[in-house]
Amino acid sequence: MTVAKGLTAPLMLLLSAAADGAVPVAVEPLSEQFIDLEVRAPAIVVAANRAVITAQVSALIRVIEADVGASVAAGDVLVRLDNADTTLAVERARAELAALDAQIRQAEQRLQHGEELFARNFISDDELLERRTSVSVLRANRDAQALAVQNAELNLSRTRITAPYAATVVARQAQVGSLAMPGTPLVTLVQTDQREVDADLDPRYADNLHAARALHFESRGRRWPVDLKRLSSVIDSDSRIQKGRFGFTAEAAAIGTSGEIVWLDANGLVPVPLIVQRDERLGVFIAAGSRARFVPLPDAQEGRPARVPLPADTLIVVRGQSRLQDGDELQITRQ
């Protein structure tokens, strides 16, 4: 038996029965049989961040600017705390800093005068050293007081609590007139300017998402284009689910919208009619020289296209495979 040469795509070769009992089948390169498989995974739109905003200083709650349901932009005021004590602390710290500045100026004048007297031998080395030390100590005290001023100003700024990002207020824990302590919950925000789609993926298809085509989120007949942001490296041992996060590339669906992540996987999938069962195993037949060879597909499922881990130029049997057994003789002739 001989094999016809010069096969080109699209290729259809007829393997006809010969006098020696060869099985008549037709073959094509595997690449000509690859199909798109639409893969779907349940998904829901979630906020990139959800945060409970808390107080950072002790003060009475004076005004709640954003109540439940309010939409806020980054920097908008959410809650105002009473700032009388923190304002006084800032003024006191600044006054102490000004006093130190005055003491430093006086000490520097004494030092300059002392250096002139020392040059004329009117004061001792110890006296000059004492004046220099006094200036150094006052300058160090000023640095510490400058930090105290910054801290007081920071505490004052914290009486005006703002939104860290565009969001919607979904809960209010604070009450006007209550005393807030550091860590006291005030309001809960759900970020609205950054939304992601959380999906439960089949691990068999998740690894090929980077090459997926027509990737989108679908809900109630509407579609939103998305791209893959993160793919979990962990597969849940019970559900056999792998988590994926997707980001909207244009318009975004509302937070809480449920639907599906949908994409086309064309990475070596062959149609169902080419898959046969032999010895309780699903697989395909290929032409290996003059013989038929059965290639098991461990991940194949009955009634679904399957991935074939073979080179794209492999000759796969596309007609007559139902009659084949592993090792059957084939004679290849051009159709």
pTM of this prediction? Answer: 0.64
139, 172, 192 — which closes off a domain?
A: 192
Residue at 8 is within a domain: no
Same domain, 212 and 181: no
Same domain, 149 and 278: no
133, 158, 183 — which closes off a domain?
A: 158
Residue at 3 is within a domain: no
Same domain, 284 and 323: yes
Same domain, 284 and 186: no
CATH number at residue 223: 2.40.30.170
Same domain, 211 and 329: no
Domain around 232: 39-48+194-263
Residue at 212 is within a domain: yes
Same domain, 43 and 29: no
Same domain, 185 and 54: yes
Same domain, 183 and 153: no
171, 192, 213 — which closes off a domain?
A: 192
Same domain, 68 and 186: yes
pLDDT at 332: 66
CATH number at residue 175: 2.40.50.100
pLDDT at 38: 86
pLDDT at 274: 95
Residue at 108 is within a domain: yes
- Residue carrying structure tokens 């807030």: 180
Residue at 4 is within a domain: no
Domain count, the chain: 4
pLDDT at 3: 39
Residue at 97 is within a domain: yes
Which of the residues in the chain have pLDDT under 70? 1-20, 266-267, 332-335
Same domain, 59 and 44: no
pLDDT at 333: 52
Residue at 118 is within a domain: yes
Residue at 5 is within a domain: no
Same domain, 175 and 67: yes
pLDDT at 2: 35
Same domain, 229 and 204: yes
